[in-house]
Amino acid sequence: IEGDFFGTAGNQRFSNSDLLRIRQAYGQIGPLLAGQTQSTFMDADSSPDMIDNFGPAGDSNIRQTQIRYTYQRTAAFGLDGAIENPDAAAQTPAGAQNANHIDKLPDFVARLRYKDSWGAINFSGVLRRFNFDNGAGSQDSAWGGGGHVGATVIGIASAASPLP
């Protein structure tokens, strides 16, 4: 369990909060994880260490409620599959946020990761179902998805060629 006081009752836009916000709360038994933690889609190997709660621009820094299974083939190679909370953001032409948006299915997320002494390579993807119903007979739905490829190379210094 991990928490902080950044935000008001989980709102990430205000600081100096006096209310505890749960950032992560999960349990793991062997390869099975359940609870709220970093999304399986995230690439922690390629993300820089930062103090900024929002992370660097373009980083998918999100914690999701999920059930995840990890298949660790070797110490360096792993495959994760998860179903995660479908927290979509939809906007109507009039500008109303999340109006009439209905989450019927979880997000389906997979990640392939290879990590060794030289660095890491990560491939991840997400598949989700979007549903819209305005309550007046207008309905629509579509499948959507996204992908990520990330690599990190760690510089190694030797006695013959030290790094500056």
The model's pLDDT over 126-143, given as tens digits with 9 standing for 90+, comes to: 999 888 776 677 778 889
Q: Average pLDDT in the 155-159 region?
A: 57
Q: Given CA atoms 152, 156, 161, 163 in this order, what sign does their dihedral have?
A: positive
User: Rounded to two decimals, what is the model's pTM?
Assistant: 0.76
Question: When comparing pLDDT for 20 and 105, which is higher?
Answer: 105
Cβ(20)–Cβ(3) below 8 Å: yes
pLDDT tens digit sequence for 64-108: 899 999 999 999 999 999 999 987 565 666 665 555 567 778 999
